[in-house]
Every structure is written in C-alpha cells, then in structure tokens.
Structure 1
C-alpha cells in the first residue's frame, strides 16, 4: 500500500465520517485544507441530497459531492451528472411502500424532498437529512424531477422490508440498497456510489487505483469495491467485510481522520 499515490478520497457520512451523535470530527476543516494544498481531491459520497451536503460544508465549495447514492454528482459547485427516475416509477414505489410496508416514503426531488402529510410526525428526522422538505396530502400524485425514493422505517426493520418487499418488487429494474437500520434507498438502475466514483474518475482523469473511500454499510459496498483503497470503519454492518480491503477505527474514534492524517503524512514525506 502506497498512500502517496492517493489522488482522490471520498467518504460516506452517516456512521462513517459522522459520529453516532451526528457530529463531524474535530479539526476536519484543517485536514481538508491540507489535502487541497497537497493536490488531493476530497469528496462526500452519501445518500443525502446535494443541497444538504452543501449546507454541511459551507467553507469548502471545491468538494466533489456524490449525492443521493450517485444519482446526482457535483464537482466544484457544478453538477456533472444526474440520473432521474421516471414519474410513473416513483409514483408506483410510493404506492407500494405505503400499502405493503411499515415504512414512510419520501420522493427525493432535485430541489427538495416531498413526504406525505400523514408523516409530519417525522419532520425532525426527515429534515436532518433533507434540509429542503415539504409535505402534501397525496404524495403519489406529485410530479417533477426526482432521482431517488427513500423509505424511513421507524421500527428499524429495513433489512426485513428490503428482503420481503423492495428487492422482489423493484430490485430487477432499479438500484435498491439498505442504507441503515431505518432507511432503504431506491435509485435508477445502475446508480450506486460505485458508478458515482467511476464517473468522478472519468471527469477528473484519476484512476480508481489512485482513489480511496470509506464506508460502513451496504449502500457503500460498490464504492468500496471500486477503489483500490477501500476502508471499512470498525462499526461497519455485518456482512460488509468482503467489500473492502482495509480497516480503520470506528466513527466515534474518528477512523476516517486517522487515515487522512496518514495520507497527508505520506504526501508530505514524498515531497521532502
């Protein structure tokens, strides 16, 4: 392993970069400044939408944002890729989720998320991830540009619902993934964080062998398998070990930052 070869780094947010309390590691801004000074591009690869990711990193407009699990990608503030769901598809997903699961659907529009008025009790949960949020009585009739449907499962049974309903119904025609104990994401076919990383690779002319990524759960699997330097945090989901070559400390022990410091040191040593 030669960390001095790393030219692009991306990290998942929840349970990976963020602590369990939902906070960023201390002094992260300083690390991002150091990486930029060394010519290393940094990105966030998340199920969260672009507008939320931008809000979380107001000082760093030059970040690459792989949002909505790869359905929307921006680089230095400019959208370089977006992949939309057909209107009929996301309306059918909302209907199925509402009628056949214990979950609450959200349509992820490019400019904001839309949830059912009946789910306003979850406003604070939704708004943590979707800063632009509105409610409507008849969610299934909403029409607009959307690139993801996400499901909030307050009973924590995301894997069970995925196996019983989402994968059999939508797995063949769309990309679907469990993104946490209470979340499932459904994206256009072929969209995941791995295809997002390959799109960034082509745009920046950086080989995936010179890329690093961090993750914890199944919507990170393709990304970790795509890059040469794929890291799982110690608090990763069971069954993820096969997707990443390397390990780091947990999110609460700032495992991502520990490796960033190693990359920074390796590049600084190479310049001596």
Structure 2
C-alpha cells in the first residue's frame, strides 16, 4: 500500500548531537510534504520541548511522551497517563533511594528535588529549560512520563515495579518511565486510526531504544546510522548517520523521494 505518513523521532534522528537540524533534513522534509506525504514527529520529548523543531520543519502533528500524548493538527486525540496509585509506588521507591524524579504533564514538568546533579546533566543535554519544583505535581495533574535519575547498576532497585511500569534508559543518568503497555507504537496506532490509515501505509525513523516498537509496527521501519546497536534488529533498513543525509537516504530507500536527490544533497546544520 502507498505510504501516506512518516513518523520521525527527534534526538539522533531529526537533530544531531549538537541538537541542530541538518539543513539537508530540513529540505528533505519540505520535499516530502510537497509530495503529499505527511511528516509527523514521534518522540519521547514532551510538547513544550519541541515547538521550535516543529516550526522549523513545518510539522503540525506529533506523538509525544513516548506515545502517551498525541496531537493531530492542534487537536489532542489520545492520552495514556500513568495511574496515580502506580505513580505513588514509584515516588515512594525513589524517595527510599534518594533518586530524583521529574514528572511530565501535557503542559508543564516539575521535579521532586530542588537540586540534583543527575537531573541537571540529563535534562540540560536536551537543551531545554529546567523543570520547576513541585514534589506534589503528580497528585494534582496527569503524568504521562517520568524521568527517573539513577545509574544503570541501580535499575534493579525498581524490579518490583516492572509489571506496572516500563523503564527505558536514554541517558547514563536517566531513564524514561512509562505506563506499562505505553510506547510510540501505541500513539502512532491512535493517529492512524483517526486518519483511517493502515500501519502498512506508514514509515518511521528512529535511533534509540524507545523506537523498537514503532519500527516494528509500521510498514517500513528505518534505523539511523548512528542508532543504538540494539535497535538495528527491529529495522527494515539502516540508513546513514543523521549528519550524512540519513533522513534523505532513508526516504529514497522507502521510495518517497527520488534517488537523484541524494547526490545533490549537501551537508550543514540549522540551529533549532
């Protein structure tokens, strides 16, 4: 079936390590839109982290918070928050071990600690504003995802919660914590259902461990050349590095852009 829609991860996919969008990626997305195929962001980031990226690329719709919050052209169409009683268990466990949490709502995010080195290192690596401080935020608002700040060897401390929550490491100091069953694939499914598209009509690009489900789910899953090695078995195709026309080359492989465009592509970056 002909591709109707393409989902793009952000970090390591649309933006490079410097959090810049390569100019060739900007042009490739523009050409994709002109061909009548809709680009959509599918990211672990929250909505308030992605405005400049959406604007620069002219993208109107997104799957955010690892599938927990989905917006199509300004309209929220799907929400999957962490149940409050389960959040309470995570909060208690993190407090027991002195680990920092950041609660991500649909419109704002807040930390349970005023200062935390791990939190500073991980959150600022995204080049976004730091969270506010409100340890009780999770009791007042829906939380779709939580950052848990701990080292890899400490993950076993949360083993008892793995039947109710999904933990995905994205930084040496931090993990995403999602409701069990949550994933980018679930958010993508919600958007496809709204549009009346089949998964076979979708393509997705990603590079991280939180992209496994969506690359498996869509008709053609593309891993970036700079992907985590454990993602590669889930991809139908491995394209080039984000800074080496990886997006364009993947779109050419998916037969969504003409092959001759790759030769004409030029490298460079545009600040987000």
TM-score by length of 1: 0.82
Contact 1:95–1:140 (Cα < 8 Å) also in 2: no
Contact 1:43–1:65 (Cα < 8 Å) also in 2: yes
- From 159, 173, 178, give the equivalent of 1:182: 173
For 2:83 and 2:161, locate their aligned partners in 1 and report how far apart those are by CA, in whole Å.
13
Segments of 5+ residues of structure 1 without an aligned counterpart are none
Confirm whether residue 234 of structure 1 aligns to residue 225 of structure 2. Answer: yes
- State the 1:123 CA deviation: 4.5
Aligned length: 256
Confirm whether residue 80 of structure 1 aligns to residue 80 of structure 2. Answer: no
TM-score by length of 2: 0.82
The aligned runs of 1:141-156 (5 Å cut-off) are: 142-153=139-150
CA RMSD of aligned residues (A): 2.7
Determine which structure has the larger helix proportion and give its number. Answer: 1
Closer, same or farther in 2 for the Cα pair 1:205/1:236, shift >3 Å? same
Look up the SS of the partner of 1:24 in the other structure: strand
In structure 2, the partner of 1:214 is: 205
Confirm whether residue 35 of structure 1 aligns to residue 32 of structure 2. Answer: yes
For 2:56 and 2:232, locate their aligned partners in 1 and report how far apart those are by CA, in whole Å.
34
For 2:193 and 2:127, locate their aligned partners in 1 and report how far apart those are by CA, in whole Å.
28
Look up the SS of the partner of 2:20 in the other structure: coil
Confirm whether residue 112 of structure 1 aligns to residue 112 of structure 2. Answer: no
Look up the SS of the partner of 2:115 in the other structure: helix
The aligned runs of 1:189-208 (5 Å cut-off) are: 189-208=180-199
Any idea what the Cα deviations from partners look like across 1:4-43, whole Å, max 9, x if unmatched? x322111211222221122111143333332222110111
Report the more deviating stretch, 30-39 or 140-149. Answer: 140-149
Any idea what the Cα deviations from partners look like across 1:146-177, whole Å, max 9, x if unmatched? 11111234xxx44x444x133x2222112332
Look up the SS of the partner of 2:243 in the other structure: helix
RCO higher in structure (CA 8 A, sep ≥6): 2
Contact 1:87–1:144 (Cα < 8 Å) also in 2: no
The aligned runs of 1:156-175 (5 Å cut-off) are: 157-158=151-152, 160-162=153-155, 164-166=156-158, 168-175=159-166
For 1:193 and 1:161, locate their aligned partners in 2 and report how far apart those are by CA, in whole Å.
25
Segments of 5+ residues of structure 2 without an aligned counterpart are 262-272
In structure 2, the partner of 1:224 is: 215
